[in-house]
Amino acid sequence: QCQLGGLWRNEQDSLMEISAVGNDGDFQGKYLTRVTLAGGCTRVSSLKGTQQQPGEGVWPTFAFTVRWDTFSNTTTTFAGQCFVDAGGKEMLSTMWLLREAVGS
């Protein structure tokens, strides 16, 4: 069983902390990115998401959105699935889409 709640680190050394997933599958948390368009220091942004209901499959799918409003006028949506390897290590496999505001 893959538990989505907790602390996650990606290949870019950014951190994501997800609070406990509610009975309805909803969760929230914080994303601490080390990757910014402007460069500079690490920034924290809030995230909100949902996971498929427990019991619907061993490897849950999920989606969440991060608002980078503390340093950028962009929003990123992630969709993914949680896996556990033979050694018991949990891994999130995601795809993401970033949108920046434009004038028209």
Q: Is residue 73 domain-resident?
A: yes
Residue 17 lies in a domain: yes
CATH of the domain at 55: 2.40.128.30
Q: Which domain holds residue 69?
A: 6-100
Domain count, the chain: 1
Q: What is the pTM of this model?
A: 0.83
In a domain, 1, yes or no: no
Total residues belonging to the chain: 104
Mean of the per-residue pLDDT values of the chain? 85
Residue 79 lies in a domain: yes
Could you read off the pLDDT of 51-102 as tens digits, one per residue? Answer: 987 565 578 899 999 988 767 788 999 999 998 889 989 999 999 999 988 8
Q: Quote the CA–CA distance of 44 and 66 in Å, as a whole number.
A: 10
Give the pLDDT confidence score for residue 27 in this predicted structure. Answer: 96
Q: Tell me: the pLDDT tens digits for 66-76?
A: 988 767 788 99
- Burial 74-86, CB ≥16 within 10 A → b, else e: bbbebebbbeeee
